[in-house]
Structure 1
Amino acid sequence: MQEPKQQIFYIHGGQTFQQESDYLAYLQNKAVSLDRVELWPKSLQQDLNKPEIQWVAPQMPCKQNAKYQHWQIFFRRYLQHMQAEPILIGFSLGASFLIQFLQQNKLPVLPKAIFLVAPVYDGQGSLEQLAGDFDIKPAPLVQPELESKLNFYFSQSDKIVPISNMQKFQKLFPAAHYQSFPDKNGHFLTPDFPELQADIANHLLAK
């Protein structure tokens, strides 16, 4: 019988807008380029491209004008495919989504670890709007045993998710693990993220 693969679920980031007019203005004014910029999720996926690993990266609905309810409906469809001890990774809005999802829903299996890169708490001090019901509520996780599996990462030079968000999460989830970096090119806009790769590798080796 074939051994089940180690699943790694990655939830990408996105943007939200308080008004439809704000979204339309964004579409009209956003800079466009033909050059493709590869960020750390790509190199992470390449590093984890192994026969024993299954990389699952759902394309969440309308990421440029995201709504929490839409993402929740779509992500729930993946729960039936979760195998024992998956690893969950969320970046930016995707990390905020995972937190709120775990505040409202029970997973069918316990994850091995949950990695949250630059999750936004409430949007205060950010250069971008936070809407679509993605703001974090002061509520515990449905499965309290998951709190110690949360691993947070913040950049002190981040203008999208200021470092003040880390202090808010520390109050809400004191049993979680936290790392901050002096500079990750602002909002973790780097081609690689070796610290996260090392942390994931350590969890993969742990039995």
Structure 2
Amino acid sequence: MKRTILFIHSAGSQEGEHEGSNDLLRRLREGLGAGVTLLAPRMPSPDNPTYASWKKALDALIPTLPDEAVLVGHSLGGSVLLKYLSEEAFAPRIAGVVLIAMPYWGVQDWDVSEYMLREDFPTGLPVIRPLYLYHSNDDDVVSPDHVKYYAKLLPTATVRTPAGMRHLFAKPCPELIDDIQGLL
């Protein structure tokens, strides 16, 4: 039986071969192989995203997922996914969540209110085990400090800080592939 992964990409153009989350997505497809259905839908207006438009897209996508799907979000896609999971009710049971290079909204230079989580957001989350938080120690877009904020609020999450992946995780990351395969 093929397992399903829903991948929510970052903000910014996803058109070119090496733009946005495309290299990460290609690495995931290569590493996970043909036995996986990897859904990576176009999100609305990635060059000018809004939480409301991405939430609407997730409202249409999430109910169509089979039980035991894995949810993966990169950068803005990760933070939108986490906000959605903490604020919305949804039917499918999920096998796990992997959030990569995710900004923590509300800290200096990242104070965009529409993306901020509620103060009590962990209480709104369904039981998600396992939950992986990935952030490269040399991220050149979102400071590696951001994952520390999440780790403090989500103590059951497994935090991984691989070296040399920068923000886009464009190089192979065997640990990431292993963790996702472990969820399938």
**Structure 1 residue 76 and structure 2 residue 59: aligned?**
yes
Q: 1:9 aligns with which of 6, 19, 22?
A: 6
TM-score, structure 2 length as denominator?
0.85
What letter is aligned with 2:170?
T
Unaligned runs of 5+ in 1: 16-34
Aligned to 1:122: 105
Q: How far apart in 2 are the matches of 1:195 and 1:130?
A: 31
Cα contact 2:85–2:126 (8 A) shared by 1:
no
1:123 Cα offset (Å) = 6.0
Q: How far apart in 1 are the matches of 2:177 and 2:81?
A: 19
Aligned to 2:127: 145
Unaligned runs of 5+ in 2: none
Q: Give the paired residue count.
A: 178
**Structure 1 residue 190 and structure 2 residue 174: aligned?**
no
Q: How far apart in 1 are the matches of 2:183 and 2:57?
A: 27
- Identity %, equivalent residues: 25
Q: How far apart in 1 are the matches of 2:32 and 2:169?
A: 20
Q: How far apart in 2 are the matches of 1:69 and 1:171?
A: 27
Aligned to 1:87: 70
Q: How does 1:149-168 map to 2 (within 5 A)?
A: 149-168=130-149
Q: Deviations over 1:116-146 (max 9, x none)?
A: 00111126466xx663712333222534412
Q: Secondary structure at the match of 2:124?
A: coil
Change (3 A) 1:7 1:41: same
Q: How far apart in 1 are the matches of 2:167 and 2:60?
A: 29
Q: How far apart in 2 are the matches of 1:69 and 1:58?
A: 16
**Structure 1 residue 179 and structure 2 residue 163: aligned?**
no
Q: Deviations over 1:95-132 (max 9, x none)?
A: 00111001101221221110000111126466xx6637
Kindly name which structure, 1 or 2, has the bigger radius of gyration based on alpha carbons: 1
1:88 Cα offset (Å) = 0.5
Q: CA RMSD in A?
A: 2.3
